[in-house]
Amino acid sequence: MLGFGKTRLAIADAETYCRAMVSGFDRLHKKPVPNQMFADPYVMGFLQQIVMHAATVAHHGKPPKPKIMSNIMTSAMDRIVPGFGKHLVVGLQDVVNPEHSMHLNYQVGRREGVTYVIALNQGDEEKQLEMMQSFRDFVVRNYLT
């Protein structure tokens, strides 16, 4: 598969994984998650790991170059929140800086996202559900109550 095909696959898979994390809130809580939830450092850190996983798998186990990874993240997020992907990537670039006031929140989301991806790779459904529930509890607590 040529590079462009791998990138398209990565975008589609990243969208699918990320959409699974944020779907169903409108049915359970009678309102959808607000767009600003995607700009939360914890959420960005968690979803970043899912996007990186999708991109790495689509690129046959080798993470794509940073510019391609950024494009994958932007495109996947644009599919979920139209027109918002570029803003999210810029926000992510800010919050990864250890000097950023919300960097610790990003680190927690990133760490939990890594744990989720490891469980996904190992087929550990119990751990996947635990991490997914932790993510969803965070969203409910901070954006839907």
Tokens of 100: 């950023």
| Average of per-residue pLDDT across 69-76 | 94
Task: Please give the Cα distance from 54 to 90 (Å, whole number).
Answer: 20
The full set of domain ranges for the chain reads: 3-23+35-144
Tokens of 47: 């979803």
Asked if the model's pLDDT at residue 1 lies above 50, the reply is no
| Burial letters 127-142, b for 16+ CB under 10 A, else e | ebeebbeebbebbeee
pLDDT digits over 73-91, tens only?
999 999 999 988 888 889 9
Please report which residue ranges of the chain form alpha helices under DSSP H: 3-22, 25-29, 41-58, 66-80, 85-95, 103-122, 125-139
Return the HEC string of 110-125: HHHHHHHHHHHHHCCH
> What is the pTM for the complete model shown?
0.91
Tokens of 89: 């990537």
| Average of per-residue pLDDT across 116-137 | 96
Res. 26 pLDDT band, cuts 50 70 90: confident
The pLDDT score that the predictor gives to residue 29 is 85
Res. 121 pLDDT band, cuts 50 70 90: very high
